Amino acid sequence: MARIFITGSTDGLGRMAAELLIEQGHRVVLHARSQSRADETKRNVPQAEAVVIGDLGSIAQTRKVAEQVNALGTFDAVIHNAAVGYKEPKRIETEDGLPHVFAINTIAPYILTALIAKPKRLVYLSSGLHQNGDSTLEDLTWKARAWDGEQAYSDTKLHDVLLAFGIARRWPGVLSNALEPGWVPTKMGGAEATDDLDEAHRTQVWLAASDQLEALVTGEYFYHLRKWGTLPAAHDVARQDRLLAICERLSGIALPE
């Protein structure tokens, strides 16, 4: 059985994925942004091996999350599930001077990818809205543009695909894929969401732990256990490398070769 770390797993799709993995017999380590949320998660998912703590909106705390994970040993897979949505009505700036949505959805998975000992598999949650992402990669910190929460979110979900594909190319020994769970009625998706919630967490579980040949691939994009179309720009090697370089500059953390 596999050992898997899931970010943003106190509720929603992260918790659903954790519970399914545990049901399948896997060992799972969860993540909460605060001690109170960690205590709540331990009560809700008592079979979890551990819960690491840190606010992914902070570069320093994201580093500490990676340190906690590495202190627990090696992992077979990491699911980068944590994200915030696009309802922020204005540009909320983190302690590092970054937009909150960009810090959590883009910079945090990059830092954790760079600092956590390489697992066998990496899974990045994107969204169908990545199709609307700005592929120019200009002004990622939203200092020149007028703030648009939905556009900022869409941009970061494109970044997650670029990150997954860039890692797949740079780390051939690691299976690195991205997926969209669908628009589902979670806290982020809202009550108006129309996709099937029961299907939303199964693809990340499958990519993280399945031995089916269809799951043992890299540099692919999925929706409901099937390869799915992505924005063509996501396959552009120059864009992948540019995003990785921007993330390195903004975080001060280099991606290992």
Backbone angles phi, psi at 95, to 5 degrees: -65, -20
Partners of 226 in the beta sheet? 223
pTM across the whole model? 0.95
Q: Which of 86, 153, 221, 223 is catalytic?
A: 153
Instruction: Give the pLDDT confidence score for residue 192 in this predicted structure.
Output: 65
For the chain, give the percent of residues with pLDDT over 70: 93
Domains annotated for the chain, with CATH where assigned, are 3-251 (3.40.50.720)
pLDDT per residue over 163-222, tens digit each?
Answer: 999 999 999 999 999 999 976 555 555 556 445 566 779 999 999 999 999 999 999 999
Indicate if 153 belongs to the active site: yes
Indicate if 157 belongs to the active site: yes
Q: What is the dihedral of CA 242, 122, 127, 84, to 10 degrees?
A: -90
Q: Which of 110, 124, 157, 223 is catalytic?
A: 157
